[in-house]
Each structure stands twice: as C-alpha cells, then as structure tokens.
Structure 1
Amino acid sequence: MDENVRVVRGRNRIRLGDDDAADVRAHIQQVALEMFIEEGYDKTSLREIAEKLGVTKAALYYHFPTKDDIVRSLIERRIAAVDELLEWAATQSRDERMRLEFLRRYAQLHERMPNENVIRFFERNQTLINTMAAGKQMREQMMRVFEFLVDPAEPLAQQLRRAMAVFTIHASTFILRERPGTERERREAALEVALELMSGASSVAHELVDVLVREHLQWEPEAEQADAGHG
C-alpha cells in the first residue's frame, strides 16, 4: 500500500484515512495527474488510479466519485486563490505601481500552485476543461485579471504587452524548465520580463521593476524553504 495513505473503516464505508484530509486529496490529485498525462485522461480509470494508490476503488470514491471531480478540484483550488487576489485588487487604485504589484502577487500565486503537471494537463485537455462549469468560471476569472491590468484607453500595443505579461508568468514554467540556473534565478527572470512588459514605455514604472523583483525574491515558496531547512 502507498505509504502516504491508509485504509480505515467507519460507518460501513471504506475511505482513505489520514490526519489531514487535505493532504490525502492532494496526494490523490498528484498521482491521478501523473497518470492522466502518461496514459491519457480518457484511457485512465478510477480503478487504475486506486490500484496505483494501493487502495480500493471505494476508498478513492469517498474523496473523488469521478475523474471529473479530480480535475474540478484542481480548477477550484486555482479559482479560490485568484479570487482572493482579485478581492484584494478591488480595494486598490489602478495606478501603474498597483498593476505591477498585482502582477508580482500573481507570480507568487502561480508559484504556490501545484507542479507543472497541472498546467501541462490543462493545455492538453482544453476540450474537457471547456465543458466544465468550473472551466468556464476560470476563463471568466482570467478576463477579470485582464480587466484589472489592461486599460482599454491605452494604445493597442501597450494593451497587448500587459496581457502578454500574464502569459509570461505561465509560459516560463516550460520555456525555462531545462535552462541552466537555479529555480530562484528562473523565477527572477520570468518576473523581470513580465514586469517589463507590464511597464511598457512608462519611465516611472521602469524605476519600480527592480524594486519589485527584489521584494518578490525575499519571498520563498514553502517547499523551497523546507528544502533549505534540510540542507
């Protein structure tokens, strides 16, 4: 049996047991994602996922009755995180400094999300994502992100730069993955380019880019902090 899960019985049902249910769900998501990417979403069954986990299908069913529920849980996690950022943004002015700060926080959010398998799965299964209500909600949410960052009164080229700044944060996961350098250096490069795109021709904004990059690098994802602690 997988060392990360155990099977317990309670009230006539078998379920995955753990001191922290969120950890169990995260482990299921991780294993399922790996299988979806390696074998294909349509070709992977709940039974096969359960076998990989070393538990019964009934135990897996307790947390995720269907494969779609696994995918939906990943989307909803992202939606919740971005919603929190948008709620914060709604209380701020939409000046240039705040747009840059929003982008920096968005980069932090992206780093907190699960590993690159999530992004790879989303890219390969757009048809599936588009059929889900949560997928539609995620697209609508991204439009709200663009609405905050992009000023429709600006020249089209500048509007495009601002939109591309967001895509830069996402694309860097794959573009820089095999490049030399540390994870910290790759994050710094991605954020620097994104902030430069966002600032465009604004001389005032350019002066803020270096400051924001330094502030961002003072923050470390929890996983990296843990690794450093064990070094």
Structure 2
Amino acid sequence: MNGAPQARRGGNTRQRIQDVALGFFLERGYEKTSLREVADELGISKPAVYYHFKTKEDILVGLLGDVGRELDALIAWGREQPRTLESKRELLARYSVIFDNAAPLFRIMQQNIATLSELTVGQEFTDRTTALAALLKDADAPMAAQVRCVSALLTLHFGTFALEYIDGAAEDKRLALLDSATELLTSAYAVQETADGPAA
C-alpha cells in the first residue's frame, strides 16, 4: 500500500481496520476502496471485517467519531458564549486546532464530496459547519459582514489543505492561516460599524 500509513501492529483488530482503511481512502479515494481490500491488507477474512464494520461508511463514521464529538463540544461551548468578537476569535482558534489535527479525515471528505454528501456522515459534517457559521455571523449584520464571517471559517477549511504546498513548520503555518481567518472575522466588525454609522 504505497504512500498509505501502515496499520499499527499492536492494538485491536477494529483499530487496525480503521488504520488500513484510512490509508486506502487517502491513497485511492473512498469510493474506490473495498472492504475486501482492507481485509486482504490485514490478512484477515472479510467476515472478520464485517464483525466490526458492516460498511465503508461505518468505518468512516468510526474515524470521524472523535472529531465529531470535539466539534459538538465546540458548538455547545460557542452557544454559551456572548456574541462578541473575542468569543468568535476564540471559537476560530479552537476550531483551527481541531481541523488541523483531523486534516487527513477532512481531506478524504473534500476529495470525495460528491459521494459522501449523500451519506449520513457527510450530512452531519455539513450540519456542524452550518452551526459553526451561525455562531460566527450575526443574522442582522450587513450582508458583507456575514460573508466575511463565513469566509473566515472557509479560510480554515480550504487553507489547511493548501498549507502542504507552502514551506515552513506545521504549527507556524497553522497559526499564519488562523491569523488570516481572524483578520477576515475582525474586518466583518469594521463593516458592521461602518453600516451602523457613528454613535449618537
């Protein structure tokens, strides 16, 4: 399996299945990966894979389970915060860490968006992204301000994938990308202030 991460020899069969499937998903795409290939790579029977995962989607759901819980916790935290620029900056900062840590999984979703958008796991990610966008923008803000808030989120999404083409330490690149997203978010407030006009 060229270019794919090797399955950990230690650990249980369920984890090894996820490791090998992740490698195949990254290397050849979700749609072109079969459970038979995963079983063959591990040297186990297909029924042994079925014991843990009935479908490829089940594997992907398992892989995304932890990050999904992190996103749900972040959304819950965001809903409890005052709708201030400071809170929204912190939301972006926390999201940046989650997204960066799970970049391989999100890359799979991005590369297979047409297929995964029809699956439950794809819809759940869309719902979470929509919830995060709603926390960053204010419904009564000018359209231009709302666009900048949503663009800040998308900057983290698509910018993370582009970072591999830029030289530099991984953490330095993440922080530079976060700075760009934060600048967009902050500029939304400048648009808002302009629209509101000077205080009486």
Identity score, percent: 34
Encode CA deviations 1:104-139: one digit per residue, 9 max, x unaligned: 1111211232x42x2232122223222222322221
Change over 3 Å in CA distance of 1:144–1:64 after alignment to 2:
same
How has the CA–CA distance of structure 1 residues 53 and 97 changed in structure 2, closer, same or farther, with 3 Å as cutoff? Answer: same
CA contact (8 A) 1:110 1:170 kept: yes
Q: TM-score, normalised by structure 1?
A: 0.71
Q: 2:107 matched to which residue of 1?
A: 120
* In 2: Cα distance, 1:36 partner to 1:140 partner: 23
Tell me the distance in 2 between the aligned counterparts of 1:4 and 1:184: 25
The count of aligned residue pairs is 185
Secondary structure in 2 matching 1:153: coil
Secondary structure, aligned partner of 1:200 = helix
Instruction: Label 1:193 to 1:131 Cα distance change in 2 as closer, same or farther (>3 A).
Output: same
Tell me, yes or no, if the aligned pair for 1:76 and 1:134 is still in contact at 8 Å: no
Q: TM-score scaled by structure 2?
A: 0.81
In structure 2, the residue matched to 1:12 is none
Which structure 1 segments of 5+ residues have no match? 7-17, 204-231
8 A contact 2:117–2:123 mirrored in 1: yes
Aligned in 2, Cα 1:172/1:40: closer, same or farther, shift over 3 Å? closer
CA distance in 2, matches of 1:102, 1:163: 13
RMSD: 2.3
1:94 equivalent in alignment to 2:94 = no
Moved more, 32-41 or 140-149: 32-41
Deviation at 1:25, TM superposition (A): 4.1
Tell me what 1:225 maps to.
Answer: none
Specify whether residues 162 and 50 from structure 1 end up closer, same or farther in structure 2 by C-alpha distance, changes over 3 A only. same
1:44 is the counterpart of 2:48:
no
The alpha-carbon distance between structure 1 residues 131 and 51, as it changes in their structure 2 partners (threshold 3 A), is: same
Partner of 2:144: 157
Aligned ranges for residues 72-87 of structure 1 at < 5 Å?
72-87=61-76
- 2:57 counterpart of 1:68: yes
Give the conservation status (yes or no) of the 8 Å contact 2:57–2:121: no
- Equivalent residue, structure 2, for 1:174: 161
Q: What code does the residue aligned with 1:92 have?
A: Q
Q: Of 16, 23, 30, which residue of structure 1 is paired with 2:19?
A: 30
Task: Give the Cα–Cα distance (whole angstroms) in 2 for the partners of residues 105 and 123 of structure 1.
Answer: 21
Separation in 2, partners of 1:110, 1:165: 13
Stretches of structure 2 that go unaligned for 5 or more consecutive residues are 1-5, 191-200
1:189 to 156, 176, 187: 176
Counterpart Cα distance in 2 of 1:170 and 1:27:
28
Instruction: Report the Cα distance in structure 2 between the residues aligned to 1:137 and 1:40, rounded to whole angstroms.
Output: 20
Letter in 2 for 1:51: D
Q: Tell me the alpha carbon deviations over residues 52-110 of structure 1, each in whole angstroms, 9 at most, x when there is no partner.
A: 12332233222212212112223443322111111112221111111111111111211
